[in-house]
Amino acid sequence: MVNLSGDEKNAVHGLWSKVKVDEVGGEALGRLLVVYPWTRRFFESFGDLSTADAVMNNPKVKAHGSKVLNSFGDGLSHLDNLKGTYAKLSELHCDKLHVDPENFRLLGNVLVVVLARHFGKEFTPDLQAAYQKVVAGVANALAHRYH
């Protein structure tokens, strides 16, 4: 469960309503693959990931990034039950995808950096703190069913 005050929840939702989820999703996943190149191990079927430009323009990266961020957005509507919301996805990431949960933490922080880039001053330290709680909560929920 994420421990957010009413004001924090409002601030989180307020910012999210302005996020272009498809665009930000593609950028966040792309930056993950550029900044932490070992994460490309999960995406060998995606084609050319050899340079930063190739990654950021790769249509499969954009599409998958959009999928991931839309799912993150679903979590925002269920902040009081992230573990329940992500139970099935957690099992999938463990049993089928074999993704080390450390990658969820990496992606969460890349998302925070991308939000800062898009919103500048509006992404205040307080708002960042609220989002850090959310990305940690989502990462923990996705790791919860690992065995």
Partner 1 sequence: MVLSSKDKAIIKAAFGKIGGHAADYGAEALERMFLGFPTTKTYFPHFDLSHGSAQVQAHGKKVGDALTKAADHLDDLPSALSALSDLHAHKLRVDPVNFKLLSHCLLVTVAAHHPGDFTPAVHASLDKFLANVSTVLTSKYR
Shortest distance (Å) from residue 15 CB to partner 1: 13
125 in contact with partner 1 (CB under 8 A): yes
The residue among 116, 99, 102, 95 whose CA lies nearest residue 64 is: 99
Q: Does 85 bind partner 1 (CB under 8 A)?
A: no
Comparison of 2 and 55: residue with beta carbon closer to partner 1: 55
Among 76, 78, 119, 145, binds partner 1 (CB under 8 A): 119
Q: Which candidate, 144, 121, 140, 138, places its Cα nearest to that of 73?
A: 138
**118 lines the binding site for partner 1 (CB under 8 A):** yes
37: amino acid identity, one letter: P
CB of 73 to partner 1, least distance (A): 21
Q: Which is nearer to partner 1, 95 or 126 (CB)?
A: 126
Angle at 132 between CA 131 and CA 136, to 5 degrees: 115
Q: How far apart are CA 126 and CA 62, in angstroms?
A: 29
How far apart CA 89 and CA 12 sit, in angstroms, is 23
Binding site for partner 1 (CB under 8 A): 30-31, 34-35, 52, 55-56, 109, 112-114, 116-121, 123, 125-126, 128-129, 132
